[in-house]
């Protein structure tokens, strides 16, 4: 990618924070109608649920598994957020992700608050029947803390449409009315929405497209590196290649990545990974460790794996001029400062990966109305929302000479704070 003067201004007063969820605090202090008391409300969690779930395994042994559901703020609408199943899940992680969901829904201006959930176990250690019993037990123990007008879970790491079908079925057993809207990301045959599976990756693609327009970039001549080859990373890579003509030069999984500066056949790589459960050995590409992959030469990097993968060392050494957060919180607070100092363009996850929650909102609306849209209608509506949100964030960034992340938080905070004040909960 040729050297150019980026139309993103030099950042004034960039600040360092301890965690992604705390970026908003310095922004809040600059919004005139947010006082100390309201800031405490915005920074607090309405409900934190900690569970010990007993699971009878297929061999008859009984184990206990920690699980969480955190509800951050519902001033603008029902709580909304996915739940993940991963051995690294902690209450602190779920708190951070619930916090992000509040601002994400506000940035794209959909009527949701923020929540998140997680079950702390490696799902690879469970059979399918054990996994189903675990998800159903999690749903049962949450009880009326979730519901179509209360808190609406969705897929996240290691959960998918089948997982959501189990949640819907288990919830329905203990409630007298059929409530399709209790969960989103369901299979199409069970009230799911067209376009939901690819939605997060499509939102990433739309964000990159708009940034490329602003920077007058030819994406066919740029080198695009995508960390993470799950739902988000794969669909982002596929759509960037197929619809934007972008050159994907590397993709990675937790086991390692493949790299070819001339380009990777994304579909072939996906088929190879599905067959071998590894990208190692994929033809015409160099295999790298997950860490080595992050230092590979590129113009654009899209981290789409777990949070915190882009640390100080990666931020200091990467040649990427543009970073699009496909994952939630993949760039650490201190790494974010390094990237800002180097005048790199960073599209924050609360904007860039909001496609998933937007189409979850579409699914919820369709469930409540019992009126369903075509794939094309869903994509058109998603594009309109993501592009509008990006333009507002970009324009504020330029007007105030602040980063895209600070601009996104400013917009999100103002909307949530105004809702709190109007409802009388901000005093």
Distance CA 52, CA 59 (A): 20
- Mean predicted lDDT score pLDDT of the chain: 92
Q: Is the pLDDT of residue 149 over 70?
A: yes
What integer pLDDT is reported at residue 27 of this predicted model? 78
What integer pLDDT is reported at residue 168 of this predicted model? 97
What integer pLDDT is reported at residue 401 of this predicted model? 93
What integer pLDDT is reported at residue 41 of this predicted model? 87
Q: Is the pLDDT of residue 366 over 80?
A: yes
Candidate list 104, 116, 223, 247, residue with the active-site label? 116
Residues 211-252: tens digit of each pLDDT: 999 999 999 999 999 999 999 999 999 999 999 999 999 999
CATH 3.40.50.10860 positions along the chain are 45-178
SS3 for the chain is: CCCCCCCCCCCCCCCCCCCHHHCHHHHHCCCCCCCHHHHHHHCCCCEEEEEEEEEECCCCCEEEEEEEEEEEECCCCCEECCEEECCCCCHHHHHHHHHHHHHHHHHCCCCCCEEEEEECCCHHHCCHHHHHHHHHHHHHHHHHHCECCCEECCECCCCCHHHHHHHHHHHHHCCCCCCHHHCCCCCHHHCCCCCCCCHHHHHHHHHHHHHHHHHCCCHHHCCEEEECCCHHHHHHHHHHHHHHCCCEEEEEECCEEEECCCCCCHHHHHHHHHHHCCCCCCCCCEEECHHHHCCCCCCEEEECCCCCCECHHHHHHCCCCEEECCCCCCECHHHHHHHHHCCCEEECHHHHCCHHHHHHHHHHHHHHHCCCCCHHHHHHHHHHHHHHHHHHHHHHHHHHCCCHHHHHHHHHHHHHHHHHHHHCCCC
Residues 250-269: tens digit of each pLDDT: 999 999 999 999 999 999 99
Q: Is the pLDDT of residue 285 over 70?
A: yes
Q: Is the pLDDT of residue 120 over 50?
A: yes
Check if the beta carbon of residue 117 is closer than 8 Å to that of residue 360.
Answer: no
pLDDT classification of 23: cutoffs 50, 70, 90: low
Residues 150-183: tens digit of each pLDDT: 999 999 999 999 999 999 999 999 887 779 999 9
Q: Is the pLDDT of residue 73 over 70?
A: yes
What integer pLDDT is reported at residue 2 of this predicted model? 40
Q: Is the pLDDT of residue 6 over 60?
A: no
Q: Is the pLDDT of residue 18 over 60?
A: no
What integer pLDDT is reported at residue 4 of this predicted model? 38
* Residues 6 or more apart in contact with residue 411 via CB below 8 angstroms: 106, 107, 392, 393, 396
Residues 296-317: tens digit of each pLDDT: 999 999 999 988 899 999 999 9
What integer pLDDT is reported at residue 24 of this predicted model? 66
Mean pLDDT of 104-113: 97
What integer pLDDT is reported at residue 43 of this predicted model? 86
Q: Is the pLDDT of residue 76 over 60?
A: yes
Q: Is the pLDDT of residue 17 over 50?
A: no
Mean pLDDT of 278-286: 96
pLDDT classification of 426: cutoffs 50, 70, 90: low
CA atoms within 13 A on the CB side of 399: 9
What integer pLDDT is reported at residue 39 of this predicted model? 84
Q: Is the pLDDT of residue 9 over 90?
A: no
Q: Is the pLDDT of residue 3 over 50?
A: no
In this structure, whether the domain defined by 198-352 belongs to CATH 3.40.50.720 is answered with yes
Nearest of 328, 369, 334 to residue 352 by alpha carbon: 328
Q: Is the pLDDT of residue 277 over 90?
A: yes
CATH 3.40.50.720 positions along the chain are 198-352
45-178 CATH pick, 3.30.70.100, 3.40.50.10860, 3.10.20.30, 3.30.70.1280 = 3.40.50.10860
- The percent of residues in the chain predicted with pLDDT above 90, rounded, is 85
Our answer to whether residue 116 is catalytic in this structure is: yes
**In terms of pTM, does the model score above 0.85?**
yes
């Amino acid at each position: 990618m040729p050297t150019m003067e980026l139309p993103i201004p030099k950042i004034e007063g960039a600040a360092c924070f301890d965690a992604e969820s705390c970026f908003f605090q310095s922004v809040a202090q600059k919004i005139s109608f947010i006082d100390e008391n309201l800031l405490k409300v915005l920074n607090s969690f309405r409900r934190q649920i900690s569970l010990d779930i007993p699971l009878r395994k297929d061999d008859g042994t009984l184990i206990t598994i920690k699980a969480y559901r955190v509800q951050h703020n519902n001033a603008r609408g029902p709580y909304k957020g996915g739940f993940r199943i991963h051995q690294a899940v902690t209450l602190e992680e779920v708190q951070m992700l619930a916090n992000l969901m509040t601002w994400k829904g506000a940035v794209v201006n959909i009527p949701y608050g923020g929540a998140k959930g997680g079950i702390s176990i490696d799902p690879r250690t469970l059979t399918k029947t054990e996994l189903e019993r675990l998800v159903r037990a999690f749903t049962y123990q949450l009880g009326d803390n979730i519901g179509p007008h209360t808190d609406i879970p969705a897929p996240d790491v290691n959960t998918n449409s089948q997982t959501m079908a189990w949640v819907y079925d288990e919830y329905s057993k203990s409630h007298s009315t059929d409530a399709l809207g209790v969960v989103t990301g369901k299979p199409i045959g069970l009230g799911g929405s067209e376009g939901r599976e690819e939605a997060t990756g499509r939102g990433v693609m739309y964000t990159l497209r708009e940034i490329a327009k602003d920077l007058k970039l030819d994406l066919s001549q740029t080198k695009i590196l995508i960390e993470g080859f799950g739902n988000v990373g794969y669909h982002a890579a596929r759509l960037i290649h197929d619809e934007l003509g972008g050159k994907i030069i590397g993709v990675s999984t937790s086991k390692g990545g493949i790299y070819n500066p001339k380009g990777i056949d994304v579909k072939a790589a996906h088929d190879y990974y599905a067959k071998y459960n590894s990208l190692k050995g994929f033809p015409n590409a160099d295999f790298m460790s997950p860490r080595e992959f992050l230092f590979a030469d590129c113009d654009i990097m899209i981290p789409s794996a777990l949070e915190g993968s882009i640390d100080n060392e990666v931020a200091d050494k990467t040649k990427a001029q543009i970073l699009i957060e496909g994952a939630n919180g993949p760039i650490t607070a201190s790494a974010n400062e390094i990237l800002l100092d180097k005048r790199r363009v960073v599209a924050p996850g609360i904007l860039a990966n909001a496609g998933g929650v937007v189409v979850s909102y579409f699914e919820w609306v369709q469930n409540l109305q019992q009126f369903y849209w075509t794939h094309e209608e869903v994509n058109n509506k998603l594009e309109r929302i993501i592009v509008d949100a990006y333009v507002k964030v970009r324009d504020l960034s330029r007007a105030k000479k602040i980063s895209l992340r600070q601009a996104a938080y400013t917009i999100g905070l103002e909307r949530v704070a105004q809702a709190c004040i109007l409802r009388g909960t901000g005093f």
